[in-house]
Amino acid sequence: MATLPVYRWRLAPDGYATRRQLRALGLRPGGQDVAAELQRPRRRRGPLVAYLYRIDRAKPVRPMTPGRRVALAKAMAARRTCPNCRTDAGYCIPRSLGMCVPCSDLDTESAA
């Protein structure tokens, strides 16, 4: 079993990228294994770790199909709909509140 090469923060060689960096380039890992590890040291805890993939083995992002586009639109609409007042809040409802901000303010006032 081979060990992964480990690089310090901002010192990874060219040709490697994280998932987010691949996505910004219009690529995806495409089933390849993690090629290296990037570590950012922290003072009182273990290091932050990011996995790196080889850019030359990455594949292009799959195109958005009409069915996936419809499913994504429904999911985002559900995240914007307040369960109390059943209106579209125009933003994603915070999970910490569980309802839109005006409903949360009314709920807080009635509890006090």
Model pLDDT for residues 42-92, shown as the tens digit of each residue: 999 999 999 999 999 999 999 999 999 999 999 999 999 999 999 999 999
Are the CB atoms for 61 and 68 separated by under 8 Å?
A: no
Has residue 109 got a pLDDT over 80?
no
HSE-CB at 7 with a 13 A cutoff on CA atoms is: 17
Asked if residues 63 and 26 have their Cβ atoms less than 8 Å apart, the reply is no
At 90, the amino acid letter reads G
pLDDT over 70 for what percent of the chain?
Answer: 96
